[in-house]
Amino acid sequence: MVYLDHASSVPVDPRVLAFAGQYLKEEYGNPSSLYALGLSTKQAVEEARVQVAALVHAETPSTIVFTGSATESNNLAVRGTALRNRKKGKSILVSAIEHVSVLNPAKDLQKQGFDLGFVPVDRYGVVDLGFLEEHLAPETTVVSVHYANDEIGTVEPVREAAAIVHEKGAYLHVNATAAAGRIPIDVQKDGIDLLTLSGNDLGGPRGAAALYVGPGVKVQTVMPGGGQEKGLRSGTENVFAIAGMGEAARIAALEMEDEMAREKAVRDSLIKEVLTIEESYLTGHPDFRLPNHASFRLSRIEGESILLNLDTFFGIQVATGSACTSRTLEPSHVLLAIGLAHEEAHGSVVMSLGRSNTLDDVPLVGRAMKETVTRLRSISPL
């Protein structure tokens, strides 16, 4: 089996599991309780906060709010910030290729009377900073531009975007789900006000994520309750997943540089191999892209068929932006936003690498892709 879908889920690092397992077995106290069994889990949560803050160079651990998923963090960031600052204005801007967990809360706000604008991207998926500058109004409160796109791998000019956003007194939210642990992130140098992080994407368990809320950034809770996480995210803490996320963040900070250099070499070799196929094209930016990420489009065949063929005959797992894997039957909004025609956007393949991938995978994936494309094109009337 060759697993090439780390943008969708990363296997839990065995070291993380060994560390966090104690919070399922022995250390099961509620962090809000006052006896020793609770206090030790409270301490585990606070240690994780320190590790996550360190990964993104946050000012203090207290800027990290734990949530249950990146989707929840994105909702808290977009909805919570827009609602809390609505006296300043009811205008928000998001880039056109954001994840649906940013787009949908933004569209929901639009239904509630907020003015929503979409920042276009160029053919590589880079946000149009000129458009952003032009369309930021004094009423704009929050702008959301992700660190890197999980489908085409493009890394955004976040620092430049932050400078523009701050000039108009708005907040910048950055979804770093795909980027964290893969490229260095420094929220202070980058000028990021709100940053979404996912535990699972770092090699932690599912069920924990975080939102960095910079000092002084005003956010309203979207999950009122017992007042955990400074009142921003109520609910008994998922200590196992949070401790695991902290450990995964610690490992990422230590090993990212070497591991990403290794994965990038495998990725580059993979891109070279796949692009030997006729009518195959790299999508996303050739240089400003995540080191573990390759994405392609292939003419005259359809993405779900490619995915199914690779899985069934070769045991290779990839993703696709194909309409046929979505509920809408519309091809990926990301591929349409970078200017691909509908018929071009149907044939997409996304390969995102992780620790298990080595150079040994490259000839197998290359051969599998060639045979898959040949087979499906022989069936295709185009």
Partner 1 sequence: MEDRPQIGYSKKVMDHFMNPRNVGDIENADGIGTVGNPVCGDLMQVSIRVENDIITEIKFKTFGCGSAIATASMVTEMAKGKHIDEALKITRQDVADELEGLPPVKMHCSNLAADALHEAIKDYRAKKEGRKEAIEEPAR
Q: Of these residues, 54, 129, 163, 324, which one is catalytic?
A: 324
DSSP-based three-state secondary structure for 297? strand
Q: Which of 16, 194, 301, 335 binds partner 1 (CB under 8 A)?
A: 301
Q: How far is the CB of 348 from partner 1 (least distance, A)?
A: 11
104: CB partners within 8 A, 6+ apart: none
Q: Looking at beta carbons only, is 149 or 322 nearer to partner 1?
A: 322
Q: Which of 61, 304, 336, 366 binds partner 1 (CB under 8 A)?
A: 304
Length of the chain: 382
Region binding partner 1 by CB under 8 A among candidate stretches 81-89, 170-178, 309-317, 349-357 = 309-317
335: CB partners within 8 A, 6+ apart: 151, 152, 283, 297, 321, 344, 345, 348
Q: How far is the CB of 304 from partner 1 (least distance, A)?
A: 4
Does 8 participate in binding partner 1 (rule CB under 8 A)? Answer: no
Q: How far is the CB of 325 from partner 1 (least distance, A)?
A: 7
Does 123 participate in binding partner 1 (rule CB under 8 A)? Answer: no
By C-alpha distance, which of 67, 374, 98 is closest to 221? 67
- Taking the C-alpha atoms of residue 112 and residue 128, their distance in angstroms, rounded to an integer, is 27
- Taking the C-alpha atoms of residue 202 and residue 200, their distance in angstroms, rounded to an integer, is 5
- Taking the C-alpha atoms of residue 338 and residue 318, their distance in angstroms, rounded to an integer, is 21
Site for partner 1 in 314-373 (CB under 8 A): 315, 322-325, 327, 329, 331, 341-343, 346
Q: Which of 32, 33, 312, 356 binds partner 1 (CB under 8 A)?
A: 312
Asked whether 142 and 173 are in contact (CB, 8 A), the reply is: yes
Q: How far is the CB of 375 from partner 1 (least distance, A)?
A: 10
Does 300 participate in binding partner 1 (rule CB under 8 A)? Answer: yes
List, in sequence order, the alpha helices (H) in 275-315.
303-314
Asked whether 145 and 102 are in contact (CB, 8 A), the reply is: no
HSE value, Cβ hemisphere, 13 Å, CA-based, for 249: 28
Q: Looking at beta carbons only, is 168 or 300 nearer to partner 1?
A: 300
Asked whether 266 and 357 are in contact (CB, 8 A), the reply is: yes
Q: How far is the CB of 315 from partner 1 (least distance, A)?
A: 8
Q: How far is the CB of 101 from partner 1 (least distance, A)?
A: 20
Question: Could you tell me if residue 64 is left (phi over 0), alpha (psi between -120 and 50 degrees) or otherwise beta?
Answer: beta
Q: Looking at beta carbons only, is 79 or 333 nearer to partner 1?
A: 333
| Residue 324 is among the residues annotated as catalytic for this protein | yes
Using CB under 8 A, count the residues that bind partner 1. 27
Q: Which of 112, 313, 363, 367 binds partner 1 (CB under 8 A)?
A: 313
Give the residue numbers annotated as catalytic, written as ranges. Answer: 324
Q: Which residues bind partner 1 (CB under 8 A)?
A: 300-305, 308, 311-313, 315, 322-325, 327, 329, 331, 341-343, 346, 378-382
